[in-house]
Amino acid sequence: MLDPKARAPLLPRIALTGATGFVGRAISDALGPDRALITALARPQRGRVLPERAGLRWVQGTMDQPGALADLCAGAQVVIHCAGATKALRARDFHEANVAATGAMISAAREAGVGHFVLLSSLAASRPESSDYAATKLAGEAMAHRGAGPMALTIVRAPAVIGPGDGATAPLFSGLARGWMPVPGGKARKARFSVIDVQDLAGLLISLAMGGDGPDAARGGVLSPFGHRALSWSDMAESAARVTGRRIRSFVVPLGALVLAGYGADLVARLTGRAQVFSSGKVREMQAGDWIGEVPLVTPTPIDVTMQRCLAPFQRLGNAGKGNVAACDRSPE
């Protein structure tokens, strides 16, 4: 019989940035009210309806508002900093989102007495010369090191993160669902790359934040995890073929065309004022060789399961009921 006088266990208090983004949503979804109390930062946006549930409190504000960051960190034991930019019109925009914002966040966490700061970075930080994005991810890490003070600091350099609901990879999975996969030419054609399922990455970040046991929960330092270490474009096509039951036809985009497309995307972004993930910088990253993580997850999601979840929203109506694809559907937001 339960003792009515027994106190409920104290739940860890986590401050989360990037909670409305791809990885942040996965973290919030995985952390129910019985696991942690979350305070999450959200940029004010007309028409946005933030989800409400027990154990989740929203702070409306931006990374350049000290008051909002102080409110976010008040009472938190750990910060998971996922906010950042993967696309920008100019190098200074990347700097503001990936460097200055990290500095502001780690200062707020230190002043609030937070014990542990978990920074989601990118494997791109290992080659800062490849793009403005990569350079600012490394600079953001350096900013965190300088500002951490007595806080424990864990940096997670994520490889390619895949899962349903990511606008950046939607064109790739849309094409695969229809039986086509573009393959970048040049060095990228034979390059190998690590990937991690977004739910696996969320689970890792949560384990780090909550001080779990096991290899997935090592605390402190720089961690370069992966779910699948060295995939090729052929591996991705073969997985899609198994999931969809159809032949995937690959076609190579010549390097010259890829470079021109990257510069064209830059021009369109500047003319429209709308940044895109695909850019000349992204083309340079593609041509930088293999992108391989260092630390394997203990129980990664099988690649076909991840691929199934990614492809489900793009399956044609006639194929929606094939196998258990429909059961794995999570439509992109």
Is residue 182 assigned to a domain? Answer: no
The alpha carbon of 134 is separated from its chain's Cα centroid by a whole number of angstroms, namely: 14
pLDDT tens-digit series, residues 87-108: 999 999 999 999 999 999 999 9
Is residue 28 assigned to a domain? Answer: yes
pLDDT tens-digit series, residues 305-332: 999 999 999 985 334 444 443 333 333 3
Band of the pLDDT at 1, cuts 50, 70, 90? very low
Is residue 58 assigned to a domain? Answer: yes
Q: How many domains does the chain have?
A: 1
Is residue 262 assigned to a domain? Answer: no
Is residue 318 assigned to a domain? Answer: no
Is residue 109 assigned to a domain? Answer: yes
Is residue 140 assigned to a domain? Answer: yes
More confident of the two residues 213 and 201? 201
Q: Residue 136 sits in which domain range?
A: 13-161+195-228
Lowest mean pLDDT among 46-60, 161-175, 211-225, 229-243: 211-225
Q: Give this prediction's pTM.
A: 0.89
Is residue 247 assigned to a domain? Answer: no
Q: How many angstroms separate the CA atoms of 318 and 316, rounded? A: 5
CATH code of residue 88: 3.40.50.720
